[in-house]
C-alpha cells in the first residue's frame, strides 16, 4: 500500500522559508507524479505543483517565483520549499500522488498544519 | 485558470437520504473531473475519477455524472461515515483546480 507522510516545522516566521518533507513508502518516486496541495483556513484547496518520475517540475503560476519542489530518490522523499512566506501561507499542506496517464490523486498524506506567525 | 464552483457550501441530510452535490466549471472540461472526500480529521480520499469511474474500495452508493461544464456526485443511501466535506477537481488544464467544497452534515 502506498503511504505518504508529511513532516516539517509547524510554525514559520513571516519572510522566512517554509520547508516540508514527504516520505513515501510502498512505491518509488521514480514513477508517477508527486504533488503538493494546501488547504487554507476556510477550506479552499490550492494545487501547488509536482515533481515527476523524471525529475521535471511544474509549479502553479500563482506561486512560481517562491516555490521549489525537489527530491531525493535514495531516500524516496520529496520536498517543498516556499520562500518569503506571509500569514496568508498559513494552511494545511498535503503531499499526494498520481500515476502517469492519470491526474487524480489516488494517495494522500494526512496533512500537516503550518502556521506563519511572528 | 479554470474556476470550479460548488454553489452549495453546506448541506443537511438524514441517514438513508439520496444526496446530490453539484460542481460547475468556468469552461468545458471534457469530463476531466474528480471527486474527493475529506473527513473531519483531515484525511482525504479519492472517490470518483473521470466523472463517473469509482475508485477502488469506494462503496457503490457513490456515483458521479455530468458533462461539459456541469457535474455532480450522488450518494444514494447516506451512511454515518459519509459525513465529510466533498471537493471536485478538474484536470482539463493546468493548474489543477478544486471547488470550494460542500460540507455534508446530518439533519
CA dist B24 → A10, A76, B6, B65, B79 (Å): 35, 37, 7, 12, 25
Helix, strand or coil, per DSSP, at residue A87? helix
Å between A15 CA and nearest CA of chain B: 25
Residue A118 has pLDDT above 90, yes or no: yes
Going by C-alpha positions, the residue among B68, B57, B60 that lies closest to residue B23 is B68
Q: Please report the pLDDT score of residue A68 as a whole number.
A: 98
> Which residue in A has a C-alpha nearest to residue B97's C-alpha?
A47
Q: Which candidate from B38, B42, B97 shows the least CB-CB separation from A47?
A: B97
Q: Which three cell numbers stand for residue B94?
A: 493546468
Contact criterion met (CB < 8 Å) for A111 and B49 = no
Task: Compute CA A44 distance to the chain's CA centroid, rounded to the nearest angstrom.
Answer: 16
Residue B58, chain A, CB below 8 Å: the answer is: no
A89 backbone dihedrals φ, ψ, rounded to 5°: -90, 0
Residue A8 has pLDDT above 90, yes or no: yes
Q: Which candidate from B36, B96, B100 shows the least CB-CB separation from A103?
A: B96
Q: In whole angstroms, what is the distance from residue A31 CA to residue A46 CA?
A: 23
Helices (H), chain A: none
B81 backbone dihedrals φ, ψ, rounded to 5°: -75, -5
Please give the full DSSP string across B5-24, using - where no structure is assigned.
Answer: E---SEEEE-TT--EEEEEE
Residue B95, chain A, CB below 8 Å: the answer is: yes
Q: Which candidate from B89, B91, B100 shows the least CB-CB separation from A43?
A: B100
Average pLDDT over residues B81-98: 97
A35-70 pLDDT tens trace: 999 999 988 999 999 999 999 999 999 997 899 999
Residue B82 has pLDDT above 90, yes or no: yes
Q: List Cβ<8 Å contacts ≥24 apart for A70-74.
A: A71/A29, A71/A34, A73/A28, A73/A29, A73/A30
* Mean pLDDT, chain B, integer: 97
Q: Please report the pLDDT score of residue A101 as a whole number.
A: 84
Å between B35 CA and nearest CA of chain A: 9
Contact criterion met (CB < 8 Å) for B85 and A46 = no
Which region holds residue A87: left if phi is over 0, alpha if psi is between -120 and 50, else beta?
Answer: alpha
Å between B55 CA and nearest CA of chain A: 8
A87 backbone dihedrals φ, ψ, rounded to 5°: -60, -20
B25-77 pLDDT tens trace: 999 999 999 999 999 999 999 999 999 999 999 999 999 999 999 999 999 99
Amino acid at each position: 500500500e502506498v503511504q505518504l507522510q508529511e513532516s516539517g516545522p509547524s510554525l514559520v516566521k513571516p519572510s522566512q522559508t517554509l520547508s516540508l518533507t514527504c516520505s513515501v513508502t510502498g512505491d518509488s518516486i521514480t514513477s508517477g507524479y508527486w504533488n503538493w496541495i494546501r488547504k487554507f483556513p476556510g477550506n479552499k484547496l490550492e494545487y501547488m505543483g509536482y515533481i515527476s518520475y523524471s525529475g521535471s517540475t511544474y509549479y502553479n503560476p500563482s506561486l512560481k517565483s517562491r516555490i521549489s519542489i525537489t527530491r531525493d530518490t535514495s531516500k524516496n522523499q520529496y520536498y517543498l520549499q516556499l520562500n518569503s512566506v506571509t500569514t496568508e501561507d498559513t494552511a494545511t499542506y498535503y503531499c499526494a500522488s498520481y500515476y502517469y496517464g492519470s491526474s487524480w490523486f489516488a494517495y494522500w498524506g494526512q496533512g500537516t498544519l503550518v502556521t506563519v506567525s511572528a | 485558470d479554470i474556476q470550479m464552483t460548488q454553489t452549495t457550501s453546506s448541506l443537511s441530510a438524514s441517514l438513508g437520504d439520496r444526496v446530490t452535490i453539484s460542481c460547475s466549471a468556468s469552461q468545458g472540461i471534457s469530463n476531466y473531473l474528480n471527486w474527493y472526500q475529506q473527513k473531519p480529521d483531515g484525511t482525504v480520499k479519492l472517490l470518483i475519477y473521470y466523472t463517473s469511474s469509482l475508485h477502488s474500495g469506494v462503496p457503490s452508493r457513490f456515483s458521479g455524472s455530468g458533462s461539459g461544464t456541469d457535474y455532480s456526485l450522488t450518494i444514494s443511501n447516506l451512511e454515518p461515515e459519509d459525513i465529510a466535506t466533498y471537493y471536485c477537481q478538474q484536470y482539463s488544464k493546468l493548474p489543477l483546480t478544486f471547488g470550494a467544497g460542500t460540507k455534508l452534515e446530518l439533519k
